Chain A
Amino acid sequence: MDSQKKMALSAMPDEKRHPGPFETSPQKSGNTGIDLNQLSFCYGTSPIFNNLSIAASARLTVLRGPSGCGKTTLLKLCMGILQPSSGSITPEHKKPVFISQEDALFPWLTGMQNIQNVAGFSAEQVKTSPLYPRIQGFLERRAHQMSFGQRRLIEVARALLVKPDLLCLDEPFNFIDPPSRALIQEVLMEPPPHLRDVTILVSSHYDSDFAAPGITTISFDGTLPVKNLVVSVKS
C-alpha cells in the first residue's frame, strides 16, 4: 500500500465537529469517488444532515461512527433511496447497488437461485465471480440453511456480478465469522481488474475493519444533526 496522507478537513466556523482520524487513499483508480455538496436531509422534523459536504475521490471509503450517527442514512442518500432536502450528490450513478444490514436473500431459494433470479445471470456467469471459489460449496443450499456469513458472501458475490458503479455496504460485517469477514474485506480492498472502477462506500462501527493503511475513513462522532461539515479526501 502506498504512503498515507492526512486528509484535508475543514468545518464551517460556527461548528467544530470533526471526530476521528482521517486518512486518504492512494488507491484511486479510474473514475471513482463521490461528491456530496451542501447536503441536507431530515426525517420529518428531525434533521440529520445540515450542509454536509464530502469530496472523496478514493475507490473505497469507510464511514465510521456509533449507531444512529447517520451512516446508513448517508449511504441511502448516495444510493438514491432517500432524497436530500437540499444539496446534490455527484456523479449520478447508473448502477448503484446497496447491501443492507439485514440480509436480503430469499430464504426459500438456493444461493444460486438468489443470484440467478434477482440479477438474471446464468450458472456459467455466476462462476466468474471472484467469490465463486469461496461460495461454491454452499451455492446450491437454500438460504435459510446457510449461516449469516455465507448469506453475506452470496450477497456480495451477487452485487459484484452486476459490475455496479457504486456499491454501498451497510455494516456488512455484523454477525459474520472472521474468515468471511477477512475474505469480503480482501475482495473489496483488492478487487479484480474489471471491478476497479467501482466506488465502494462501507459503513462500519468496528475499528478493526478496514484497518489497513491507505483506507479512506470518514468518522462521525454521533452528534445529530451533522452541521456544516466539510470533508475533502483527495487521492
Chain B
Amino acid sequence: MNPKLKEKLANIALSLMGSVLLLVLWISLKVGLHIPDRYLPSPSAVLHAIGDLEPSFWYHCAVTATRLVIGSILGIAIGIAIGILFSWQRTLGRFLLPSVLSMRAIPPVAAIPFFLLWFGFSETGKLVIIVFGIAFNIAVATLQAINSMPERYRILFKSFNIPEGALPISYSLPVALETLGPTVRFSVATAVGLVVVAELLGSQAGLGYLIQTSRSTFAMHTIFLATFGLAAIASIADWASQRLWRIIVFWKTSDQ
C-alpha cells in the first residue's frame, strides 16, 4: 500500500477511535452514574430528536451553514480588500489603521447590541456581525503580508520603477493570499462562534436558535443535538477552508 495512503487511513482510524471513545465515555457516565436526562441525555434520545423537530434539524443546520459561508466569504473578501487598499493608499492607511487596530481589539460579542439596534433581527445584521468579527483581522494580516515584501521583490520593483505604493494587484493579492491561510482558518472558527451568538440573540431558525428555544423547554437532548450539529459544521468548515486555500495558493502546494 502507498505509504501516504496508509498514513492517511491510520489518521482516520485514530480520529474514529477518539469519537468512539467519547461515545463509550458518554454511555458509561449515563448508565454508571444514573445521570438523569435533564442533565445528560442518552445517545439514543439525542438521535431520536433528529426526527422530532419541526422545521427539521437539517433545515436548522442548512440555515446556520449558509450564514457561516456567506459571512465568512464576505468577511475574508472585505478584509483582503481593505488590506490591499491600505497598501495602495498609504496616507489613508496611516489615517485609518489605528481605528482598525482598535476595532480589531473589540470582542465582536461585545458589539452585538449595536448591531441589534441598527439592523434588528434581520439577516443583514447577522452577516454584519460575522464580517465585523473577522474582516479587521484579515485586513491587518493582508497589509502585513504586503508590507513584509521579500527583498528580491523589493529590488525587482526598484529595478523596474514600480513604486511600492502602486504594486500591481497581480502581486499584492497572491502575496497576501499565500500568507493568509492560518488567519483564514482562525477566522472561520471565529465565524462559527459569531453565527451561534447572532442566532442565540435573535433568529427564527438555525442551530443557535434551536439551542436557545430548547434551553427554555429544558430539552437537553435537542441542545446536545444542536451542539453536535455545530461541531460537525465547524469541522467541515475548517476542512473546506484548508482545502480551498490549498487550491487558491496552487503555486505553494503544487510540490506537496
Contacts and interface: CB of A to CB of B under 8 A. Distances in A.
Contact of A144 (B151, B168, B251): B251
B174 A108 contact: yes
A100 B151 contact: yes
Give the interface residue-count category, chain B: 10 to 19
Per DSSP, chain B at the interface is helix
A104 B156 contact: yes
B44 interface: no
A144 B254 contact: yes
Given A106-B170, A107-B251, A108-B174, A97 B159 contact: yes
Interface in B122-161: 150-153, 155-156, 158-160
Contact of A98 (B155, B162, B250): B155
Nearest to B177: A108
A108 B174 CA distance: 8
Interface string B107-131: 0000000000000000000000000
Contacts of A106: 170-171, 174
Q: What are the 8 A-B residue pairs with the smallest beta carbon separation, nearest first?
A: A144-B251, A107-B251, A104-B152, A104-B156, A97-B159, A100-B152, A108-B174, A108-B251
21 contacts: A79-B155, A81-B158, A96-B159, A98-B159, A100-B155, A100-B156, A102-B150, A104-B152, A106-B170, A106-B174, A107-B251, A107-B252, A108-B174, A117-B168, A117-B170, A118-B160, A118-B162, A119-B160, A143-B251, A144-B251, A145-B254
Given A104-B156, A108-B251, A144-B254, 14 more contacts: A80-B158, A97-B159, A97-B160, A98-B155, A98-B158, A104-B152, A106-B171, A107-B252, A109-B170, A118-B160, A118-B162, A142-B251, A143-B251, A144-B251
